[in-house]
Amino acid sequence: MNNPHELAPLLVAVGRAGIELAPHGDRLRHRPADLPPDLSEALRRHRGAILGMLAGGYTPAGENARYVMAERLGMADGLEMPTHPGAAAWLLAVGESMGEGCGVATHGIHCGHGETNERDSGGDQGERSNALRDRQGRGCGP
């Protein structure tokens, strides 16, 4: 069984690198064809789990994970990026969702530790909305 603490950062790294993955029988195809050796080896180690997600889909576990997945895919869709399973944006969203956003990309906002206008750190939906408004007010958000 693959360790989600290893798989999540791998998917994030692959997605950030703009790599697309697709199943081909029991093999994992990737575009571009040339990968850095460390990513190639890590993909080999986690091939079974990745093929399973590509074939069977991924369902985030928990409210925060669902929020992270929906937010990432929504942002990518708004930018007209491909979001189908295996697309770089999808891989990034799945990886961050698996890690529930904590320590992978936006730790403070999705783990309830970020500042908001109310300086509340409860981590609920209201805080995420406030944090998004804060980022937008500084010209940093979507």
- Residue 127 and residue 58 share a domain: no
Phi, psi of 22 (to 5 degrees): -150, 145
- Residue 110 and residue 48 share a domain: no
Task: Give the CA dihedral 83, 86, 91, 95, nearest 10 degrees.
Answer: 130
| pLDDT given at position 3 | 72
- Residue 66 and residue 9 share a domain: yes
**Residue 28 scores a pLDDT above 90:** yes
- Residue 119 and residue 67 share a domain: no
- Residue 110 and residue 97 share a domain: no
Q: What is the pLDDT of residues 53-80, one digit of tens each?
A: 999 889 898 899 999 999 999 999 999 9
How many domains would you assign to the chain? 2
51 close to 127: Cβ distance less than 8 angstroms: no
Complete DSSP assignment for 27-89: EEEEESS---HHHHHHHHHTHHHHHHHHHH-----SHHHHHHHHHHHHHHHHTT---STTSHH
Domain range for residue 32? Answer: 4-101
Q: How far apart are the first and last CA of the chain?
A: 37
> Average of pLDDT values for 29-43?
93
- Residue 18 and residue 75 share a domain: yes
If pLDDT is split at 50, 70 and 90, which confidence band does 115 have? Answer: very low
The CA distance from 65 to 14, in Å, is 19
- Residue 116 and residue 97 share a domain: no
- Residue 113 and residue 94 share a domain: no
- Residue 93 and residue 44 share a domain: yes
- Residue 93 and residue 51 share a domain: yes
Summary mean pLDDT of the chain: 77
- Residue 112 and residue 60 share a domain: no
